[in-house]
Structure 1
């Protein structure tokens, strides 16, 4: 997550408005966008494993090393595209012991595999590289390395590259649709510092040049942007939830605060196990790692920089007070383990599958602890952050996210669909089935729509279409007709229809509204008697 916030929310929180990593609505795209965002013939291979071996020099902000990429050719592969930012040096590429010829174009490296890697062949190449990676100006909103010092003057280094791309710092197939099945991450840092990466700690090795190599292994599919380094003077403590290992890495002077703050993790796991199913990466364990930036959903090594405060750095994004009852970064970023890390959108245009569901998981957590009404109040409160200026879904094939409304509007769309279900038992079953059936899968929006549509007789297609593919939300229009009420939807989607609940003199009534005028069978004296169920349905409402 990059925490997209409208300007007024940023000012309330004391931040200056900043450019998100990819959340910039573009009307035109370049060849570089296509090279990054499309599945070209040169990308006709499936990544099976990454073996990263990298040395980080904090003083010179310099990295060097290699990535061994094990892959399977999905078609005959005469030329292979591997991505690495053009400011980074390609030192050499070895394939079967031979140095390979290559060409560079923007952030893509095209390797001549002559004559070709045959279809279905499994093979590997070793890609050596070095350079000064892009430094983030304000992570996690913009991508790059973060080189900071802790309060005791020790180097404190991390990376956050969602959207910008993992090829910012290591060579890979930088497309969200392809995840290695496993990863070995070996990071050498100056003696006295520790590196924490994803997965399980395999051990450390003291090298001869004043460096120590810290080795980690991931045994689950992992997206490129989730593979990270976290370098600092860390101390470690651990806990357990059922059979899940909980590990925490923080700066030593924050140890006691962290022990108290991170107790919430077990409460969260109780809720998320119940509503979403078991933690998706039990083999790799769960970690929170203190970082010099606010946070990010790095799989099995969640970045935490919320300063051990409740809310969002001590603020409430909903304006209701409810957001101050829990630690935003712990809950939101951990929610991404189910939505984004386990269930992953094939194209970045469908990132609402990550962010909408994860923002909704905040309300799920609230409901687990404080009840449905507080969850609904929170969801209503975060609507103040919605702009409704552009569509949630972006352009496919060009590495383009849609509107930042994917967070708050996406969550309120899901809550509206729950209200259309009008059956909480069915809703919770469907949501849990969704997370368990699509565990460790790469999917698209249509798959998500079809899944939630299948569970009920009401056709949700026009609902998804309006909320995801158009900027505006549907407007329920009412007018008095004689002694009764007439109503219809005003929407962009042709033949739009959606059930909605209203109150007439305090009594809840369900209208099976369409974009044609219909008449309520009961009588009313005034339109003032009519209220919408605004906590459960996110819609516009007008009296004509």
Structure 2
């Protein structure tokens, strides 16, 4: 199909290099034409809101190909006669139909611009269907470089799963592929060889078999990020458990490979403790009517809503993720991290992927709170955060530009994001208020969208203090504040380096074992001390770099 011609100005701004939208920990990704098309809600995307996706896919495992159709039900937000949906350009569109008529369409990279035969008036409900086929992208390093993982289990059976955060759901089914474009509900119909089981999000409605194939129908009753919609295919068996809340029994039906049923039955109950922790601090689990399950997969795992995928080897100490995350022998690092995303990311979703610290930074920070709560020890949480500190590189900002499909999934988003939250708690210096801020932010934005400004608006509302200077330094600049200091026999001198002009953050020192709060600026200040005083910068509470002037 023809390419849509960009204006000269837009073309000069965009790189011709096609790459994944993640970037790295050391540089921002190029703004390609495709990322612009995916990241920006232009008039052909903002003119309608999806209410329902009906996904139907037949999987050919031998050829690693798919053949399917997706019906999109939507509401027009303005008069329209064309709109954009998104599908990876390597997948072939067979036809697009509307009221039993084939529609004309054009393709530009992953964007599909559809023309309707007559104008659809504002506030009308309409639906159209896209028929397609092809070989979807394979995962290079799932889940960070995602796609389909085609593998085999220990018995030689096919074992397949998809992960596509950042790449987008368009790599395997057509949709309005923007982080805010959630359907209100989704039906997933997956057809696989009859010796295998297909697991999707939500609850299983029915299974039918015909001609050596089985079709599994799954349904999600809630809004769901498109990248969270998933399929897992394998020789699965169900592992049933129950979760009791307010005298109501909720069924938890996990799915694992047949030979791991006993192991999972003994290992997965820890997920109930995790859910109770998150409900205690961050509000109710939002998806009870869709259930909660863990699904064993041939990669590390991901936060697929109501179908959290798991591949950490059923070991707290010796799993893949266990080697790099200290869990103190009490919880599986993968289960707590991905289950926590049912709050951070799945319930409260970043309004643009450049604000994805709301998913990842808050999630890692919540794990520190888990240990603090578990052991009733602030020091345990600090120890957890300190164990992650050396992974921070401070090369690019945590938050970049909006509307560029920039999925800021680099390491600082996780580790530095957690440390920034820990630092803000120390700055506010009122734990009761701090935990109310976190709880209210999560509860008030549940099943919704938020960005960095929204979070700091909540902070200002509760503290009656404007901390935007803090956000500008820690989220929009890569620079770690540096406290330069020296002391004489009678005075301690200190000042900020490597900070914005408006940076006015207070900082705590230990002066001969007594805490003292100071407010450094870019010029030297001082306070009197006795000779040979011991002074420590409390960098276990604040993400700052103490540098002694020699």
Provide the TM-score with structure 2 as the length reference.
Answer: 0.91
Which residue in the other structure is 2:12 paired with?
none
CA spacing shift, 1:156–1:406, aligned 2, 3 Å: same
Q: How far off is 1:482 after superposition? A: 7.0
Asked if structure 1 preserves the Cα contact closer than 8 Å seen for 2:29 and 2:406, the reply is: no
Which residue in the other structure is 1:540 paired with?
545
Q: How far apart, in 2, do the equivalents of 1:38 and 1:63 lie?
A: 28
Give the alignment partner of residue 410 of structure 1, picking from 398, 417, 425: 417
CA spacing shift, 1:394–1:490, aligned 2, 3 Å: same
Q: How does 1:181-200 map to 2 (within 5 A)?
A: 181-200=184-203
CA spacing shift, 1:407–1:206, aligned 2, 3 Å: same
Which residue in the other structure is 2:204 paired with?
201
Query: 1:180-216 CA distances to partner (integer Å, 9 max, x unpaired)?
Result: 0100111111102111100111111113x32111011
Matched, 1:345 2:374: no
CA spacing shift, 1:481–1:460, aligned 2, 3 Å: farther
Q: How far apart, in 2, do the equivalents of 1:125 and 1:268 lie?
A: 41
Q: How far off is 1:322 after superposition? A: 4.2
Which residue in the other structure is 2:257 paired with?
251
Query: 1:468-494 CA distances to partner (integer Å, 9 max, x unpaired)?
Result: 111111112223367222322224322
Give the alignment partner of residue 514 of structure 1, picking from 513, 521, 533: 521
Matched, 1:89 2:92: yes
SS at match of 1:469: coil
- Structure 1 stretch displaced more, 308-317 or 136-145: 308-317
Which residue in the other structure is 1:6 paired with?
none
Give the alignment partner of residue 175 of structure 1, picking from 170, 175, 178: 178
Which residue in the other structure is 2:502 paired with?
495
Q: How far apart, in 2, do the equivalents of 1:245 and 1:376 lie?
A: 35
How many residue pairs get aligned? The number is: 521
Give the alignment partner of residue 334 of structure 2, picking from 307, 329, 338: 329
Which residue in the other structure is 2:439 paired with?
432
CA spacing shift, 1:513–1:453, aligned 2, 3 Å: farther
Which residue in the other structure is 1:129 paired with?
132
Q: How far off is 1:324 after superposition? A: 4.7
Which residue in the other structure is 1:235 paired with?
237
Asked if structure 1 preserves the Cα contact closer than 8 Å seen for 2:327 and 2:333, the reply is: no
Q: How far off is 1:325 after superposition? A: 3.6
Which residue in the other structure is 1:15 paired with?
none
Which residue in the other structure is 2:310 paired with?
304
Matched, 1:112 2:115: yes
Query: 1:54-108 CA distances to partner (integer Å, 9 max, x unpaired)?
Result: 1111111111111110111112222211100111010111111110000111111
Which residue in the other structure is 2:35 paired with?
33
- Structure 1 stretch displaced more, 331-340 or 346-355: 346-355
Asked if structure 1 preserves the Cα contact closer than 8 Å seen for 2:206 and 2:218, the reply is: yes
Query: 1:279-302 CA distances to partner (integer Å, 9 max, x unpaired)?
Result: 121111111000000010000000
Give the alignment partner of residue 210 of structure 1, picking from 206, 209, 212: 212
Give the alignment partner of residue 164 of structure 2, picking from 161, 166, 169: 161
Q: How far apart, in 2, do the equivalents of 1:21 and 1:105 lie?
A: 17
Asked if structure 1 preserves the Cα contact closer than 8 Å seen for 2:252 and 2:291, the reply is: yes
Q: How does 1:435-454 map to 2 (within 5 A)?
A: 435-454=442-461
Give the alignment partner of residue 80 of structure 2, picking from 73, 77, 80: 77
Q: How far off is 1:502 after superposition? A: 1.1
CA spacing shift, 1:82–1:397, aligned 2, 3 Å: same
Asked if structure 1 preserves the Cα contact closer than 8 Å seen for 2:316 and 2:327, the reply is: no
Which residue in the other structure is 1:386 paired with?
392
Q: How far apart, in 2, do the equivalents of 1:482 and 1:181 lie?
A: 67
CA spacing shift, 1:426–1:245, aligned 2, 3 Å: farther
Asked if structure 2 preserves the Cα contact closer than 8 Å seen for 1:315 and 1:323, the reply is: no
Which residue in the other structure is 2:152 paired with?
149
4+ runs deviating over 6 angstroms? none
Q: How far off is 1:254 after superposition? A: 1.1
CA spacing shift, 1:138–1:21, aligned 2, 3 Å: farther
Asked if structure 2 preserves the Cα contact closer than 8 Å seen for 1:497 and 1:515, the reply is: no
- Structure 1 stretch displaced more, 170-179 or 477-486: 477-486
Which residue in the other structure is 1:469 paired with?
476
SS at match of 1:514: coil
Asked if structure 1 preserves the Cα contact closer than 8 Å seen for 2:103 and 2:117, the reply is: no
CA spacing shift, 1:272–1:232, aligned 2, 3 Å: same
Asked if structure 1 preserves the Cα contact closer than 8 Å seen for 2:539 and 2:545, the reply is: no
Q: How far apart, in 2, do the equivalents of 1:336 and 1:395 lie?
A: 23
Give the alignment partner of residue 395 of structure 1, picking from 401, 404, 412: 401
Asked if structure 1 preserves the Cα contact closer than 8 Å seen for 2:275 and 2:339, the reply is: no
Asked if structure 2 preserves the Cα contact closer than 8 Å seen for 1:77 and 1:118, the reply is: yes
Q: How far apart, in 2, do the equivalents of 1:538 and 1:524 lie?
A: 28
Asked if structure 2 preserves the Cα contact closer than 8 Å seen for 1:395 and 1:401, the reply is: no
Q: How far off is 1:315 after superposition? A: 3.5
CA spacing shift, 1:83–1:346, aligned 2, 3 Å: same
Provide the TM-score with structure 1 as the length reference.
Answer: 0.92
CA spacing shift, 1:438–1:39, aligned 2, 3 Å: same
